[in-house]
């Protein structure tokens, strides 16, 4: 039985349930690289070009980790997942970057997913992937149907307010609302950023669990449903042509306008091209609506103590605001 390696990075946090179920239904063993750790980070930094952003470097590390353990590595070339929209340029070229920066690789399965012009190509990409592994049409069709169902369950969980890190663990078990005790929470904070930086616990130094342990309800862009994202991102003066950019801006705008949050933490990685645009858009909106906003920029040299201090200060600031806002003396 052949083994497929799935690196735990980039779009892993968006589509892993789909990929996992699909390959397992086809009777293929999948190996996921271990959670990001120091060793993987160092491997990534040494093999990747210096200019790339941290998530891409970490992805290189995951591939390095997997390359001796598997027969194939699955790195889909996700070009576009919506009409007339694109993904980040580094994602478009990710299989090429990997192929020419890391030596002695097993074959890469780089199925091209390009739905920019029409959705019809999607089915073909699925069959191409299955065919590469020597499966027949009906097997692939059946496997995909099952995978889709479990993916829907995953999306359902997210919309219910389960943080994706948790959802990946439990999507096929019992439905359980992690933010269940939300009524007791004093604050609601939106953690916004790309899925691969928000949910990689090593990269962002456990930001989400730190917030949760402080009795804070956390909302991430993936928890907002698609209709809302579309509605609010249409308020931009120009059509947003990055699917993930649209998700970030749309979800942040919707929460700001509906006044559901007390503050926003934008988690960005140094050198992220999309974020240089998106941060500006979200920050402007937040300032206009008078919602506290802070930007954490991460790179491989970020120290945990400094990040902790900033998070604590931010939380304190919001708590004091909620307590004292109406008690400010008229003498100023």
Residues in touch with another protein (CB under 8 A): 48-49, 51-53, 77, 79, 84, 86-90, 92-93, 96-97, 100-101, 112, 114, 236-242, 268, 270-277, 279-281, 284, 297
Kindly state the smallest distance separating residue 234's Cβ from another protein, in Å.
Answer: 14
- Of 186 and 300, which CB lies nearer to another protein in the complex structure? 300
| C-alpha to C-alpha distance for 25 and 146, rounded to whole angstroms | 8
- Of 56 and 157, which CB lies nearer to another protein in the complex structure? 56
Kindly state the smallest distance separating residue 289's Cβ from another protein, in Å.
Answer: 15
296 close to 310: Cβ distance less than 8 angstroms: yes
If 0-12 CB within 10 Å is exposed, 13-18 middle and 19+ buried, where does residue 13 land? Answer: buried
- Of 206 and 297, which CB lies nearer to another protein in the complex structure? 297
- Of 94 and 311, which CB lies nearer to another protein in the complex structure? 94
Kindly state the smallest distance separating residue 38's Cβ from another protein, in Å.
Answer: 23
Kindly state the smallest distance separating residue 145's Cβ from another protein, in Å.
Answer: 28
Q: What angle do CA 321, 326, 328 make, to 5 degrees?
A: 90
Kindly state the smallest distance separating residue 26's Cβ from another protein, in Å.
Answer: 25
- Of 84 and 132, which CB lies nearer to another protein in the complex structure? 84
Which tokens in the block code for residue 139?
A: 């097997």
Range 206-209 contact pairs with CB under 8 angstroms and sequence separation of 24 or more: 207/265, 207/267, 207/296, 207/307, 207/311, 208/163, 208/165
Quickly list DSSP for 150-183. HHHHHHHHHHTT--HHHHHHHTTS----GGGGGG
């Amino acid at each position: 039985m052949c083994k497929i390696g799935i690196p735990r990075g980039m779009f892993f946090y968006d589509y892993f349930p789909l990929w996992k179920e699909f390959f397992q239904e086809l009777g293929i063993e999948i190996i996921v690289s271990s959670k990001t750790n120091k060793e993987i980070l160092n491997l990534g930094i040494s093999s990747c070009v210096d200019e790339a952003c941290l998530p891409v470097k970490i992805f290189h590390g995951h591939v390095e980790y997997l390359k001796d353990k598997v027969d194939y590595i699955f790195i889909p070339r996700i070009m576009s997942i919506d009409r007339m929209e694109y993904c980040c340029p580094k994602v478009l070229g990710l299989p090429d970057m990997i192929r020419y920066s890391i030596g002695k690789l097993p074959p890469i399965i780089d199925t091209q997913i390009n739905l920019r012009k029409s959705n019809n190509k999607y089915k073909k990409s699925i069959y191409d992937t299955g065919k590469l592994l020597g499966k027949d049409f009906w097997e692939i069709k059946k496997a995909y149907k099952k995978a889709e169902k479990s993916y829907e369950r995953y999306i359902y969980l997210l919309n219910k307010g389960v943080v994706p890190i948790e959802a990946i663990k439990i999507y096929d078990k019992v439905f359980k609302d992690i933010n269940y005790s939300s009524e007791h929470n004093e604050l609601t904070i939106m953690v916004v950023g790309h899925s691969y930086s928000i949910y990689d616990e090593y990269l962002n130094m456990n930001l989400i669990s730190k917030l949760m342990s402080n009795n804070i309800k956390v909302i991430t862009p993936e928890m907002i449903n698609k209709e809302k994202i579309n509605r609010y991102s249409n308020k931009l003066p120009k059509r947003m042509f990055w699917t993930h950019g649209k998700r970030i801006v749309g979800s942040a705008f919707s929460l700001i306008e509906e006044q559901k949050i007390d503050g926003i933490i934008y988690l960005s990685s140094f050198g992220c091209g999309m974020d240089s645009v998106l941060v500006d858009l979200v920050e402007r909106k937040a300032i206009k609506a008078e919602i506290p906003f802070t930007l954490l920029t991460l790179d491989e040299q970020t120290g945990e103590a400094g990040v902790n201090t900033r998070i604590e200060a931010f939380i304190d600031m919001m708590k004091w605001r909620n307590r004292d806002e109406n008690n400010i003396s008229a003498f100023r």
